Structure 1
Amino acid sequence: MLSNHKLYAYLHEEILPLESAYLHVSDLAIQRGYGIFDFFKTHHGQPLFLEDYLNRFYASALLMGLEVPLSEEELVATITGLIQMNGLSESGVKMLLTGGYSENGYNPGPPNLIMMEQPLTLPSEAQVATGIKVITHEYVRELAAAKTINYIVGIKLIQQVKAKGADDVLYHQKGVVSEFPRSNFFLVKEDNTILTPAHEILKGITRKNVLELAGKKYRVEEGTVTLDDIAQAKEAFMTSTTKRVLPIVEVDGNPIGDGKPGTVSLDLLQDLIALEEAQITAV
C-alpha cells in the first residue's frame, strides 16, 4: 500500500477526497460526543458479514434516537461505490452517524452520516502465537448495547495499560466481567466449555460468528463471568472485527492456564478465517 494512495470518504451525500471531508464545529459529535458508529472489514475488496453490521448500525441509531438518512439499500450502494473508488483489497470501513449540527450545542440536529475506509492490518502470526496480556478496570459502559462514539474511559486508560506492560483493559463491575473497550471476552473452562459475558456488553459480530462456530464443537454458555472464573480458566481470548480471535495469556499479571495460547482458541481462529474465506467465495 503506497503512502500516497488517494483515499475517499462519504459526507453530505457525496463521495469526496478524504482530506476534504470536514464537519462543522457545531456538530454534537464535537460539542458533546454524541453519535454512533460501526465498523466492518473488507477482504479482497468485498465486505464481510455486511448485513449483520448494518443491522447493528441501525439498531444503535434507534437506541440513540438518531435517524439514518439512507435506507439500507441506499447505504449498501454508497458503501459499494466508496469501496470501488478507494480500491483497497484489505480494509476497514467506518460508518459514523453524529448528533448533527446543533443551534445551541445541546439539542440534536439532522444527523450527519460519514463513511471512511482505511487500510487494515490484522494481528500477525507472531502476536497470535505469543498471545496478549491485559489488565482489568472497574467500569461499565453507559448504554452498552449501542455502539456509541464514547470511548473516554478506554482512551484515558491507554497510558496505564502501557505502563503495566499490557495490551488492553478488561472492564468489570464488582468482579463481574463485561467487555474490552473494543472487543468481546471469552474464556475456556477445564472441560473445554466456552463461556462469554451476556450482559452490559456490545454484542459483536465476530462474537456472534465465534459462538456459532464454537457451538458445532464445544459446549457454549452465555452468562455471568467473574474475575474468579478467569483465575480458574484454561484459556481466554478476545474477539473483534480487527482482532479476529486473539489469545489472552495473562490477566493482571496472572497467567491464564499455562500462560500460552490454547488449542481451543487457535482452533476457533482457524474456523473463523475459513468462514471469512467462504464469504468471499460465495460472492
Structure 2
Amino acid sequence: MPSNDKLFAYNLGLIVPLSEATLHISDLSVQRGYGVFDFVKVQQGFPLFLDDYLDRFFQSAQLMHLSMPLTREEIKQVIDELIARNQLPEAGLKMILTGGYSEDGFTPMNPNLLITQLPLTLPSEEKVAKGIPIMTHDYVREMPEVKTINYSMGIRLLHEQKANGTEEVLYVKNGLVSEFPRCNFFMVTHDNTIVTPANNILRGITRKNVLSLAGRRYKAEVRDIRLEEILQAKECFLTSTTKRILPIVRVDGVLVGTGKPGEVSLQLLQDLMELEDSQIAALRE
C-alpha cells in the first residue's frame, strides 16, 4: 500500500501529488467555513453506490448556491483516474466544494473542487461484537439536509466524549433525537420494528440502504424518536459509510437492551455487507 506522500489528489482542475495540493487562504472554506462535501467508500478498487453520493453532493451544492465546476461524468472520470493512480483497494474518496476565493472574505465566488483518496479502516470484528457507548447532547445542526464542512460542534465535543468514555455523540433537541455528527441513528423496538428519525438529519446513503434491507425482514418506520424511547429499546445502532452498522450498547451510561449487540443489528450488518458484495460484482461486469 503506498504511503500518503505518494498519493494523488484532484486539486483545482489538475491531478497532482497529494503533498502538492493547495488552497489559497482567501477561500471561503478557510475564511468562513463555507463549503460542502461528500464521502465515498472504495472497496476492492470500486466506488460503492457512487451515483447516490453524487446525487447528494450536487444537491448540497445547489442548496448552498454553489455551482459545480465539473459534470457528474467528469467527476466520475477523475475518481476513476485517482483510483487507478493511487492503487488503494480499501479507501475513502472525499469530494469537497468550497465557496471559492472571495475578495471580501464573505461573498462566494467561483467554487473550488478538491477530491482526495486516503486509506480507510472499517470497524474491527471485535468492536462490532462489543458495541459502543454513546452520549447525547442538546443540539441540532443548521441545514441538516446539507452535508456542509461545518463540524464545529462535533469536533468541540470530542474532549467531552473522551472524558466520559463514549465513542459518539447523538444530537437531541426538545426531547427528539436526530443524528450523530457523522452517522445516522436507528432503534429496534421489542417487536423488531426498525425505526430511524425522520427530521433534522442528513439522509445518509447507508441509512437508505439499511432501510431498504430492513423492510425485507422486518417492519421499518421513519418517524420522530423521543430520547426516552431509546432508553427502553431492544437494540440501537448507527450507520455510516465508514462504519457500516455499529451496535450501540450504552446511552448516557444506561444499558440498551441486554447491553450487548443484538441479533437484528448483526443480521442487518450481514445483509449490508452482502449488498456491498453484490454492488462490487455488478461493477466488475
**Fold in common (TM above 0.5):** yes
Aligned to 2:76: 76
- Quick one: structure 1 residues 4 and 233, their matched pair in 2 at CA, closer, same or farther if it must change by over 3 Å? closer
Tell me the TM-score normalised to structure 1 length.
0.99
Q: Tell me, which stretches of 5 or more residues in structure 1 are unaligned?
A: none
TM-score after normalising by structure 2: 0.98
- In the other structure, the counterpart of 2:156 is 156
Give the corresponding residue for 1:102: 102
How far apart are 1:3 and its partner, in Å? 3.5
Whole-Å Cα distance in 2 between the matches of residues 214 and 19 of structure 1? Answer: 43
Percentage identity across aligned positions? 59
In structure 2, the partner of 1:166 is 166
Q: 2:81 aligned with 1:48, yes or no?
A: no
Cα displacement (A) at 1:232:
1.1
Q: Distance in 2 between matches of 1:41 and 1:194?
A: 25
Counting only pairs closer than 5 Å after superposition, residues 104-253 of structure 1 correspond to structure 2 as 104-253=104-253
Runs of 4+ that moved beyond 2 A: 1-5
Partner of residue 25, structure 1: 25
Q: Which amino acid aligns with 1:139?
A: Y
Q: CA shift at 1:131, angstroms?
A: 0.2
Q: Take 1:4 and 1:36, find their aligned partners in 2: how far apart are those partners? A: 24
Residues 101-128 of structure 1: per-residue CA shift (max 9 Å, x gap) = 0001001110000000000000000000
1:13-54 deviations in Å (ceiling 9; x for gaps):
110000100000000000000000000111111000000000
1:4: how far off?
Answer: 6.2
Once the two structures are TM-superposed, the CA of residue 5 in structure 1 deviates from its matched residue by 6.2
Q: Describe the SS at the equivalent of 2:257.
A: coil
Distance across 1 between alignment mates of 2:211 and 2:195: 9
CA contact (8 A) 2:2 2:87 kept: no
Q: Is the 8 A contact 2:5 2:19 kept in 1?
A: no
Contact preservation (8 Å) 2:132, 2:247: yes
**What runs of 5+ residues in structure 2 fail to find an aligned partner?**
none
**CA–CA distance in structure 1, aligned partners of residues 19 and 140 of structure 2:** 35
Separation (CA, whole Å) in 2 of partners of 1:171 and 1:159: 16
Q: CA RMSD in A?
A: 0.8
Whole-Å separation in 2 of the counterparts to 1:162 and 1:188: 27
Secondary structure of 1:215 counterpart: helix
2:275 & 2:42 partners in 1: Cα distance?
14
Per-residue CA distance 1:120-175 (angstroms, 9 max, x = gap): 00000000000000000000000000000000000000010110010010001011
**What is the alpha-carbon distance in structure 1 between the residues aligned to residue 278 and residue 4 of structure 2?**
32
Cα distance in structure 1, aligned partners of 2:67 and 2:83: 24
| Distance of 1:82 and 1:63 partners within structure 2 | 27
Q: Cα distance, 1:227 vs. partner? A: 0.5
